[in-house]
Amino acid sequence: MAVQTQKLPYGIGRISGGWLLALLVALVFTVFGGYAYAQQLIYGEVVTGMRDIGTMAGAPWGLYIAFVVYFEGVSFAGIAVAALIRLLDLDHLKPIARMAQVMTVIALILGGLGVIADVGKPGRAFINLLKYARPGSPFFGTLTIAILGFLFGALVYLYLDGRRDAALLAKVPGKFQGFYRWWAAGYQDTPEARERHERASFWLALAIIPLLVVAHSTLGFVFGLQVGRPGWFGTLQAPGFLAMAGVSGLGHLIVLAAILRKVYGLEEQIDIAVFRWLSNLLLIFTAVYVYFMVVEWLTSVYSANTAEAQLLNALLRGEYAWIFWLSVVSLLIPLVLLIGQFATGKYRIGWLVFSGVLVNVAAIGKRFLVVVPSQTHGSLMPYVIGSYSPTWVEIGVVLGLMGLGALLFMLFAKVFPIMEVEEV
Amino acid sequence: MSLSRRDFLKVSGVTGGALVAASRLLRLETLTAAGAESLQVEEKYIPTTCWIGKQDCGMLARVVNGRVVKLEGHPANPRNNGTLCPKGVGQIMSFYDPNRVKTPLIRTNAKGVPGEWRKASWDEALSLVAKKMNAAREKGGSKFVWQKGRSKAKKFYDKAFVAASGAFKLHHGAFCSDAGYRALEYTLGLHAVLHPDFKYTRYLLCWGWNVTNAGGNKFCWLTWPQKLVEAKERGMKMVAIDPRQRSAAHFADEWVPIKPGTDLALALALCNQLIANDTIDREYLTKYTNAPFLVGPDGLFLRAEPEGEEEAGAPLVWDTVSGAAVPYTAEGIQPALEGEYTVGGQRVKTAFELFKAHVAEYTPEMAAEVCGIEAAQIERMAREIGENAMIGSTITLDGHTMPYRPVGIMAYHMAQQELGFQAVRAMVMVMMLIGSIGAVGGQFSDFTWKEYKNWAKFEHLKVQDETNLYLKDSKFFPINSNNSSVVAHVINNLSEYGLDDEVVPDVVILHHVNPLGSFPDRNENFEAYKKIGFVAAIDPWISRTADYFADVILPAATIEKYEGPISASDFYTDAETLRIPPMDPLFDSKGDIDIYIDLCEAAGILYGEDGYIAQINKQLKLEGEYALPLDQKPEVRDIFDRYARSKGLEGGIEFFEKNGVNIKGPASVSKVYPYAMEEPFAGILPHRFYGESLLVAQNDMKAAGADEIYWRDYTPFPTWRELTAAQSPAEYDLNLISYHMIEFKQSRTPVPLLIEMAPKVFVEINPATARAKGIADGDEVWVESHNAITGETRKIKAVARYREGIRPDTVAMPHHYGEYVKHPWVKGQGPSPNELFFTGEGYVAQTADQTYLVRVKVTKA
Amino acid sequence: MARYGMVIDLDKCTGCRACMVACKVENNTPQGHFWMYVFRFEEGEYPNTRTWFMPRPCMHCDNAPCVKVCPVGARYKRLDGLTATDFDRCIGCRYCEVACPYGVNYFNWKKPEGNYYLDWDDPDLAEIVGDEKVVYANPDLDKAYGPEKRRIAGGGQAKGVMEKCTFCVHRLEKGLQPACAAICPTQAIKFGDLDDPESEVSQLLREKPHFRLLEEAGTSPRVFYIGQHAPNPSVRQIEEITVKV
């Protein structure tokens, strides 16, 4: 789509009824989340379903941490895809690079807010996490590197990658002109500048990939390094987290791309090739994750110690079984669909969106199962078996975060092109 | 500041050093917070004593700015040596409990339903009680009743009130261990149950559920486990005889999971085996017991010709020297312990010979069948008792050479069973056979060997028509432990006991006692209280009884009062202490003694020769210069000041206020050991091995027309019979027993710190039994009890908890749930086993002692 | 400098839980918090059953998982062996709690005020209680301790922070034993300097076989147990406490 003299591309600045309605829905969720969180601020986390391990027979980490992990996982795939596109020069995928970057930034913000929602002293946490940072804590990797560092990197990348578009848009008169001029920061779409821009974003993309692996491995380390919690300790946690991050993020991206394709009528730009590529990548990640899962499952079924066996029992047959099997099914169905499409070479966007949604259900389920059962059913001490179920406050806060994510995405889409604008 | 920061960096073992360096500026907030320690704090320790539990441990109250912040053990008190039990340390909360009765309360609604109250002044409340009390006093008899739970000090001010007011007194002992007390009073003349000489015992039979859970005879919980642990470290072997293992836990070297209520059979089987193994102390039996007395065919002793008309002659023994029957008191004789002799033309046997014949049927196999245990276990126990008794050995302590028989029994609440009196007698007889009574390392009961008034009384048991509210000296219960549930039963069935309305009380004063909460059977008590005109309760909390029936509640203080004197002896060290108030009585409450002084003043019985003050002087032996003036209202502190001075303590009460405890020194060997006394066993001899007067009583009861159910257990030797509860239909297949948890035993106070640890009542059940009934661990169940005499059934709902350490045919429930109904922490605690137990015939012992055993069926709710 | 440790003789423990209550009163911990907990165990099947008890304070591990994971250094090791919690610094992330295999951490899910069993705002108590959150408030708990001068004593300090057994650091500075050790009726809990070979605890460890909990987790606890055995999967808890706030 060429830049027109009157209209900005991709509906920027134009407010439609559908968009408004969607925004309203997102806003309602966000406000509800805020209300729920206010309850927590006033009364303390007693309003959540979390309680202490031991005599309280509870889980001190619950839905919040599960979703922090989930959000961070989603963010991973976004930036990874954007970086791969740049690194491998996948030109036909360029249309989804921007949305992938935005998804990353938003997911990271949600992850960060999830952490704030979880801690008992949110105000103090902002200061102390930096002031007294302890690199020895896996939380340092999660919070400082994964969220803050990574968020910084993703923002820089988004910013640099968007400079060219901003420069183009700045030429069009309108209320956002000043904003685009600021973003472009003197960028002129000259060949030299374009080349410099290409080079910078290439190196940035290159740098982001290992950072990404490190960040998401530390997320796995948050659990994988804990020898005292059956089900957590293990070398597979880090790569498993990485794989699951890919699965959930790619699933998200597929859904997002399909929605935008529909909303903006971008059948030309986001063609089936984009989805084929995303589909195949999702297939790889899903297969790898399923492989990890089976390996882990076999290992513990075959030779679990008592504590592991108790945990496994809760997962396979006990109170968590429904989540476990729902997650497994939600992974296996997409896997079959993806393999089928790969084998036949026929890719259907409908099936892909279905798969994308399912793998995210699985991702949320599996994140929950990583976080919670090891606390309630994974005690090495002879305490009574614990239990955890989230309260409306926790569910409200999580829904609020999701609403906020949608809200941010929709707002972004109204001020900046959600896809790279074509050359004038 | 800079110094502390360096240290902080050094100490905190920093992992992210670089970042910490960057954060120096921000350290300020912590340092400011740390600097806020300049507040003036006035701190002191006031010695006092525990108010929960039985043994009144010494305490130090840490008082900060006039507020007690902690209760710690008094290090010098021999009973607790600086330590406390969970109740002791937790009761701090009860001081300040806003749910205490803060002012005198007068009832504003009907009785028999949860109470509504209005606040009243002390004057109004006391004059109301005094008026009612005086009206009842005039009628005499049992019209004015006074009842107290355990006194938390010497009972002097209680006794003074009873004496001054002429109140009819009810006890609490029939719900505690009084059947055992009666057995010991009858057999040895001592007022106590059974405990060993811990310092020297090598083999201990722990009989019942008190071992690690709730203390034992004479001591509450704390001294007992301290001595137990010391003895175990010394190498003492311990056998736990209890349907539940929880009571003895890992301290038991062997667990004998006996069927509830069958202890008598086990004890007699042990006697059988001791005789079979010939591990018996003939010297003790011959010299100090009536075992060698010759018994005629009528079961009575052969006696010498009476010297006077009133006196019966001395019982005869067979003198092996002269080959003749002679009075056992004769000089220079050698009585035969065993054998059959011809005296005056009739064949007679020694009591011991009769005993041998009596226990012949109690073979290990027979007892194993009755008790539900292994015969081999009984045989092994008997062998070990015999071996460890080291019969014939002596030990010299402090110049006294005495028999050394390091085997003893610990028994306390287990005495409260249908055959309680005779079961404890049978247990004592085990110890008598090996000569362990009063021997070093052997069987003890009281702190010293001192004759109790019942020793003489029980020689001739009164069986008379004229009786009273608790059936004293009656054809029903000639030995009588004053069971207030029996009283309730009698009130509800007056004609059956030949009584009329005359005995029904008009006025009852309940002091720290809660019959509806603490005593089985709750229904019987509830019905009886409906018939009582006026009830006044003295209590810091509203008890279940007060809530339903009190007309007036007088708020008593808890620890914050003067009370005493209190023995601090641990058996080996003599000491005495007082309760000193660490602060003034909270709210508008008063110390118990203050309440009695005020009440007596209002009733006009404080002053004068027979007044309350005079009675206090008498009870505390305050004479001469120490005596309280009879015309002047005393200060409670002054009473104890005079007491302390009368004991020769410099400074009087100030001695206790400063030191807390008066250590008199180690108890002398001649005080502790009856063999070291000037007169062995303080002359309380001969020990009643053969219960002749029991047989006489039985004959008298029969003659007076008493039913068999009353007289059947009045036998000279303990005799096993099937328990009443066992006659319930087969569907009631489980025995329900009860016990106390250490968190609550005798706590008389709803302490949230303790309730939090054991919030709800539960039913312990063996998993095999439970599974067969489809009951899972944690399931709610119905427990339904059955009265084998009346056919009545009752049921409650509670949570079942699996326990491998309980007999499969037995379930158990703890007490002390739901007693102080108005307290927020008591609500929802669940029912009490007292709702399932029965009182009355079949469910009380021959001594009117309450039993805690009933047949139940348990079904999933 | 002394390096403290605890030796608990399970052969002496009667499971009375006096230590739990003493701890609660001394440290003013809110309802539902048991810095000291006493397990009551049963194992085996009738009639070969065994019942025993095991107090569980914080293990004050030398290689403490909680210290390693704390993102802000609020949980830290002191030179005297104590594992301390600076409640002024804690952000309440509860990572220490999930990392600890012993279940000794208690989070202030609620505002501590109003979480002390009874209503201490009663007007009749106002004069005595003042503005304290609990009537038996211990004045020693708000002070800063150790050369590092950090506030690490006592419980119920603030909503949203983590707390646990401090070995009664405020008593140690006065030369007193921790509250649990001082109260124990059978003196089953011994506390002292493990670096001093003459201390009672060191002597006990020399004389008697001992174990530590989850030693295989590599946490190097400073709490040692004498007698009985480490709890294994065959022990069952009885009379367990599961109080939620």
- Report, as an integer, the average pLDDT of B332-337: 95
Q: Residue B600: is its pLDDT beyond 50?
A: yes
CA–CA dist C62, C79 (Å, integer):
10
Q: At what angle do helices B375-389 and B364-371 cross, to 10 degrees?
A: 120
Return the closest-CA partner of residue B206 out of B274, B269, B257: B257
Residues of chain B in contact with residue C78, where contact means CB-CB under 8 angstroms, are 11-12
Residue for token digits 């790898």?
A288
Is B620's pLDDT higher than 90? Answer: yes
Cβ atoms of residues B214 and B475 within 8 Å: no
Smallest CA–CA distance, residue C124 to chain B, in Å, is: 7
Q: Min CA distance, A135 vs chain C (Å)?
A: 7
Cα separation, B104 vs B98, in Å, equals: 15
In this predicted structure, the answer to whether residue B4 has a pLDDT above a threshold of 60 is no
C122 and chain B in contact, CB less than 8 A: yes
Q: How do the domains of chain C map onto residue ranges?
A: 4-237
Which pLDDT score is estimated for B308? 66
Which CATH number applies to B724-860? 2.40.40.20
Pairing of strands B734-739, B793-802: unpaired
Choice between B205 and A161, residue whose per-residue pLDDT is larger: B205
Angle between helices A17-43 and A392-415 (to 10 degrees): 140
The structural domains of chain B, with segments of one domain joined by +, span 2-35, 193-292+337-445, 724-860
Query: C174: distance to nearest CA of chain A, Å?
Result: 30
pLDDT at B1 exceeding the cut of 70: no
Which pLDDT belongs to residue B786? 98
Query: What percentage of chain A exceeds 70 in pLDDT?
Result: 98
* pLDDT-derived band at C126, boundaries 50, 70, 90: confident
Q: pLDDT tens digits for A250-278?
A: 999 999 889 888 888 888 878 888 899 99
Task: Check pLDDT > 50 for residue B32.
Answer: no
Interatomic CA distance for residues B359 and A168, integer angstroms: 114
Share of chain C above pLDDT 70, in %: 100
Least confident window among B430-439, B466-475, B715-724, B818-827: B818-827
Chain C residue with minimum CA distance to A386: C242
- Cα(B280)–Cα(B455) distance, rounded to whole angstroms? 25
Q: Answer whether B214 touches C (CB < 8 Å).
A: no
B234-250: pLDDT as tens digits: 999 999 999 999 989 99
Candidates C95, C100, C104: best to mutate against A (most CBs of A within 10 A) is C95
CB atoms within 10 A of CB A54: 25
Which stretches within B177-333 are classed as H helix?
178-187, 223-234, 263-276, 282-288
ipTM score for this prediction = 0.96
What is the pLDDT at residue B8? 35
pLDDT band for position A7 (cuts 50, 70, 90) = low
CB spacing of A55 vs C103 below 8 angstroms = yes
Q: Tell me the backbone φ, ψ of residue B119, rounded to 5 degrees.
A: -70, 145
Q: Give pLDDT, residue A423.
A: 58
Identity of the amino acid at B332: G
The per-residue pLDDT for C140 is 95
pLDDT reading at A341 higher than 50: yes
- C-alpha dihedral, A25 to A28 to A32 to A35, nearest 10°: 160
Provide the pLDDT for residue B217. Answer: 77
The predicted model gives B316-333 an average pLDDT of: 94
Q: Are B491 and B501 in contact (CB under 8 A)?
A: no
Strand partners, B48: B59
Q: Which residues of A touch C98 (CB under 8 A)?
A: 53, 60-61, 226, 229, 375
Using CA atoms of C194, C198, C201, C202 in order, give the dihedral in degrees to the nearest 10.
Answer: 60
| CB of A136 less than 8 A from some CB of B | yes
Q: Do the chains contact at B13 and C76, CB–CB below 8 Å?
A: yes
Which class would CATH give C4-237?
alpha beta
Cβ-defined contact of A125 to C91 (cutoff 8 Å)? yes
Q: Cα–Cα distance between C15 and A342 in angstroms, integer? A: 65
pLDDT of residue B400 exceeding 90, the answer is yes
Q: What is the mean pLDDT of chain B?
A: 92
pLDDT at A146: 73
The distance of C238 to chain A (nearest Cα, Å) reads: 10
B18 pLDDT above the threshold of 60: no
Residues in contact with C89: Cβ distance below 8 Å, sequence separation at least 6, in sequence order: A124, A128, A132, B30, C72, C73, C74, C150
Q: How far is CA B327 from CA B283, B289, B319, B685, in A?
A: 18, 14, 9, 14
Confirm or reject contact between C95 and chain A (CB < 8 A): yes
Q: Do B26 and A131 touch (CB under 8 A)?
A: yes
Q: What is the CA radius of gyration of chain C?
A: 18
Cα B234 from Cα B707, distance rounded (Å): 51
Nearest CA in chain C to B258: C47
- Percent of chain B at pLDDT > 70 equals 95
**B116 and B140 Cβ atoms separated by less than 8 Å:** no
Q: List the structure tokens of B609.
A: 């020769």
Residue B821 pLDDT: 87
Residue A136 and residue B23: Cβ atoms within 8 Å? no
Beta bridge partners of B395: B402
> Is some CB atom of chain C closer than 8 A to the CB atom of B8?
yes
> Is C118–B29 a contact, with Cβ atoms under 8 angstroms apart?
no
Question: At A38, which amino acid appears?
Answer: A
Helix (H) or strand (E) holding B71: strand B67-73
Cβ of C151 within 8 Å of Cβ of B757? The answer is no
What share of chain A in percent tops pLDDT 90?
46
C128-186 pLDDT, tens digit per residue, is 888 889 999 999 999 999 999 999 999 999 999 999 999 999 999 999 999 999 999 99
**pLDDT, tens digit, for every residue of B686-713?**
999 999 999 999 999 999 999 999 999 9
DSSP designation for C124: G
pLDDT value at A424 more than 60? no
- Report the range of poorest mean pLDDT among A341-355, B476-490, B753-767: A341-355
Among the CATH numbers 3.40.1800.10, 3.40.228.10, 3.40.50.410, 3.30.565.10, which is that of B193-292+337-445?
3.40.228.10
From the list B232, B186, B104, the residue with the least C-alpha distance to B594 is B104
**pLDDT at position B575:** 94
Inter-chain CB proximity C162 and A139 less than 8 Å: no
Q: Do residue C25 and residue B90 have CB atoms under 8 angstroms apart?
A: yes
- Model pLDDT for residues A11-25, shown as the tens digit of each residue: 787 788 888 999 999
Within its chain, how far is the Cα of C183 from the centroid? 14
Alpha-carbon gap: B409 to the closest alpha carbon of chain C (Å): 20
CB contact under 8 Å between B35 and C73, yes or no, is: no
Q: Distance between CA B212 and CA C14 in Å, rounded? A: 6
- In this prediction, residue B26 carries a pLDDT of 31
Return d(Cα A184, Cα A164) in angstroms, integer.
7
Q: Are B592 and B606 in contact (CB under 8 A)?
A: no
List the single best residue of C76, C183, C244 to mutate versus B (max B Cβ within 10 A).
C183
Those residues with Cβ within 8 angstroms of residue A48's Cβ, 6 or more apart along the chain or in another chain: A40, A62, A63, A64, A390, A391, A393, A394, C109
- pLDDT recorded at residue C149: 94
Q: Which of A248, A247, A271 is nearest to A261 (CA)?
A: A271
